């Protein structure tokens, strides 16, 4: 793992200011200021309904903010992996090819890259297999490889291992560590404190739509600064 220096001078990859989002008459998210810079992974923790997925979708641009701004430079490449992998009803190779084409890579470049991608990530043998016949863990791994295929600067993940067994979870985390080492900023929503600890970056604790605490992971798990952080780790943090 790299050291945990977040360069405060570097321009943020993604930022939001005065973000507010309400639904059903209740404020679901209220983030006055959040800057995500290149560096170690950010694990977004918090109880159900804290606004974690909403924050991710707003930052990625899947949901337009009602109030405030999300600032993401167009040259900063983003990708996202969802809790349930959404693979196209095509072969494994065609799924990767689709993502490369969507990212604007030409036919010749794709034809050159595709075999490398497939063998690099262990999909060479299953390249022609319909993607939806892969096991759940392999489907999610393919979704992750598809997201990484375009070498994104920021990778958002929304509970990517929530329905995976330990082996499949380990495979995903190995890929995330590789991507982190290659300079992709990882922003992951997880319900697994162990996962946040293993990724070894910082923890962003959300509670009732607000950022309760943002601390390096080692510090958070040793001695959280906020009352919400202490309550969360003791299992007492409820909505």
Partner 1 sequence: MQGFAESFASAAMLILTGDPALWEIVALSLRVSLTAVAIAALIGFPLGAALAVGRFPGRGAAIVCVNALMGLPPVVVGLAVYLMLSASGPLGVLQLLYTPAAMIAAQAVLVTPIVAALTRSAVEGLAAEYDEQLRSLGIGRLGAIPTLLWEARPALATAALAGFGRAIAEVGAVLIVGGNINHATRVMTTTIALETSKGNLHLALALGALLILLALAVNAAVAALGARPREALHA
Residue closer to partner 1 (CB basis): 140 or 207: 140
Least Å distance, CB 86 to partner 1, is 4
Instruction: Check: CB of residue 187 under 8 Å from CB of residue 154.
Output: yes
Binding interface with partner 1 (CB under 8 A): 57, 60-62, 78-80, 82, 86, 88-89, 98-99, 102-103, 130, 132-133
HSE-CB for 63 with a 13 A CA cutoff: 18
Least Å distance, CB 53 to partner 1, is 11
Residue closer to partner 1 (CB basis): 62 or 223: 62
Give the residue among 207, 214, 202, 234 at the shortest CA–CA distance from 42.
Answer: 202
Residue closer to partner 1 (CB basis): 103 or 175: 103
Least Å distance, CB 92 to partner 1, is 13
Least Å distance, CB 196 to partner 1, is 23
Q: How far apart are CA 9 and CA 13, in angstroms?
A: 12
Residue closer to partner 1 (CB basis): 10 or 73: 73
Strands 154-158 and 14-23, sheet pairing: unpaired
Least Å distance, CB 204 to partner 1, is 21
Q: How far apart are CA 223 and CA 236, in angstroms?
A: 16
Residue closer to partner 1 (CB basis): 80 or 188: 80
With the CA atoms of 24, 70, 77 and 4 taken in that order, what torsion angle do they form, in degrees rounded to the nearest 10?
-100
Instruction: Check: CB of residue 203 under 8 Å from CB of residue 214.
Output: yes
Q: How many residues appear in the chain?
A: 239
First to last CA, the chain: 34
What token pair was written down for 198?
């293993």
Residue closer to partner 1 (CB basis): 44 or 100: 100
Least Å distance, CB 79 to partner 1, is 7
Q: How far apart are CA 166 and CA 5, in angstroms?
A: 30
């Amino acid at each position: 793992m790299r050291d945990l220096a977040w360069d405060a001078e570097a321009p943020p990859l993604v930022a939001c200011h005065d973000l507010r989002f309400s639904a059903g008459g209740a404020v679901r998210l209220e983030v006055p200021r959040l800057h995500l810079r290149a560096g170690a992974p950010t694990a977004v923790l918090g109880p159900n309904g804290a606004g974690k997925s909403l924050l991710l979708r707003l930052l990625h641009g899947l949901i337009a903010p009602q109030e405030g701004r999300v600032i993401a430079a167009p040259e900063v490449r983003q990708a996202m992996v969802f809790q349930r992998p959404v693979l196209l009803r095509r072969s494994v190779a065609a799924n990767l090819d689709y993502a490369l084409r969507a990212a604007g890579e030409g036919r010749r470049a794709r034809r050159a890259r595709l075999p490398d991608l497939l063998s690099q990530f262990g999909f060479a043998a299953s390249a022609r297999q319909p993607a939806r016949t892969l096991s759940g863990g392999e489907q999610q791994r393919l979704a992750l490889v598809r997201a990484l295929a375009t070498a994104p600067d920021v990778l958002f993940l929304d509970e990517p291992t929530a329905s995976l067994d330990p082996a499949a979870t380990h495979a995903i985390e190995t890929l995330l560590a590789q991507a982190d080492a290659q300079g992709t900023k990882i922003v992951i929503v997880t319900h697994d404190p162990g996962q946040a600890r293993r990724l070894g970056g910082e923890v962003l604790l959300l509670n009732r739509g607000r950022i309760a605490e943002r601390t390096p992971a080692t510090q958070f798990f040793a001695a959280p600064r906020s009352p919400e952080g202490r309550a969360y780790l003791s299992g007492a943090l409820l909505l």
